[in-house]
A = this chain, B = another copy of it.
Amino acid sequence: MVRAIADMIVIGQMLPGEKLDEVSLAARFEVSRTPVREALRELGAMGLVDRQPNRSAIVATVTETYLHSMFEAMAELEAICARLSAERMTVDERRTLELAHKASMKLVHTGAEEDYAAHNIEFHTRLYRGAHNDHVFEMVTQTRARLAPFRRAQFRLPGRLAKSYEEHGRIVIAIMRADGTAAAQAAYSHVELVSDASAVFAATREPSARGT
């Protein structure tokens, strides 16, 4: 169930700042309020929703500063994954990555934004797995989920597909060469560009007071 709510947020069915009413959610999932409350608490710990005492949980809202820090962190994490992938991927993993990348070329040509977005997620997930570090995988996955509500429609911008494909290519080449440094650099700048390309709408109000 937390998965279901999380997806609703990540997919964008719920926009940052929107209220998550306990009774509505309880009705929607046909359960009592108790499990809903627990799910919201969990989502709060994951950073996907903001909670304040005696106030409705809302889809996490984030200051521009914090959003920037997440993008920067994402770039660092992707760089780590790329570097470790370059050093550690098995031959099978490398081959699969390269094949998937090459196969995505025709999605670029046909301009299939939806399909390319799916491929993109898979591509990056491969990178995260290739690092062979479960904790890094968790962190990067969770960061991506928290970033998702803010990078909607990144492939709508003209030419972005081709650019993304080219950048992926650079990462793949570095990984095939087992060149960790180059892979890290390529991955870092890739995310940086995504961050620029994103329709970044930061919360004007309600600076989600995070900080463990």
Identical copies of this chain, number: 2
Count of A interface residues, CB-CB < 8 Å: 32
Is A196 an interface residue when CB atoms closer than 8 A count as contact?
Answer: no
| Residues B44 and A212 in contact, CB atoms below 8 Å apart | no
Complex contact B37–A134 (CB within 8 A)? no
**How far apart are A150's CB and chain B's nearest CB, in angstroms?**
12
* Those of A198-212 within 8 Å (CB) of chain B: 210-212
- Which residues of the partner chain B approach A143 to less than 8 Å between Cβ atoms? 135, 139
Instruction: Give 10 nearest A-B pairs by CB, closest first.
Output: A45-B45, A73-B135, A69-B135, A69-B133, A42-B45, A70-B135, A69-B134, A38-B41, A141-B212, A73-B136
Which of B65, B73, B137, B145 meets A211, CB within 8 Å?
Answer: B137
A residues sitting closer than 8 Å to B (CB atoms) are 34, 37-38, 41-47, 65-66, 69-70, 72-73, 76, 80, 133-139, 141-143, 145, 210-212
